[in-house]
Amino acid sequence: MGPVSSRSLGFGTAGFESRSVAVQSVREALDVGYRHLDTAQQYSHTAAIGEAIAESDVPREEIFIATKLHSKNLTHDAVLTETRSILDRLGLDTIDLLYVHWPAHTYDPEETFGAMGELVESGAVRHVGGCNFTADLLREAVSVSPVPLCANQIEMHPFLPQDDLLETCRAEGVDVVAHTPLAGGAVFGSDVLRDIATERDATVAQVVLAWLLARGAYPIPKATGDHIGENYAATALALTPEERARIDAIETERRVVDYEFAPWNR
């Protein structure tokens, strides 16, 4: 079991409307049972997330904290300096998982992962990974990185199951973290998902998150209020093989996060 898979469902921290909402939501997530927090350099309220971690009764060593470097900060020196800056903003000595947010702009496999390897060697970072890496880019990174890749964070949901990429990650021994697991809210319009949710007395979000977990992917939904606990309850929902097959058979195709510089568009 890898460092990500041992934490199961993670908690996304993008797009909180205010500092106070960020602090409150992260504290609630930790209280409910989440132990994997996903952050990024370009997300707002990073310092507030660090504050919530410090205020929580959950020991730091039980919390797996991931963050991502902006694609314009992936040269050797930028990786080192920007990671230190993130640590300062979070108020931490160590980041558990440092990602390349996008393999674009200043990204160079050997230079970028070489610098990330130095951070692992120094103890500032425990694990490294990629986000939005295609199968070819993942294999390239695995081959040149001086330290093992821990995870590939990719968009994954019933409208973008990423079967081939999931298999590649498994073959390379890389955990899959699923961002945008609810397809930007589009899953709530699916008749198949609504029917299963009704049959199981669950929410559509719980059904989707349980489906992802059953596939061996680890979703990181962002939530506030009651949805924080509702989503976490997906860890106790075991879908039947028939229910999973119904979800697998959904024919709708949709990618939510799709920038021009994304590797699949080049």
Radius of gyration of the chain (CA): 18
Active site residue 232: no
Determine the Cα–Cα distance for residues 73 and 110; give it in Å rounded to an integer. 14
| Active-site residue, from 43, 99, 218, 232 | 43
- Exposed, middle or buried by CB within 10 Å (0-12, 13-18, 19+), for 266? exposed
- Exposed, middle or buried by CB within 10 Å (0-12, 13-18, 19+), for 17? exposed
Q: Which residues contact 18 (CB under 8 A, 6 or more apart)?
A: 45
Instruction: Give CA 191 to chain center in angstroms.
Output: 27
Give the up-direction half-sphere exposure of residue 173: CA atoms within 13 A in the CB hemisphere. 8
Q: Which residues are catalytic?
A: 43
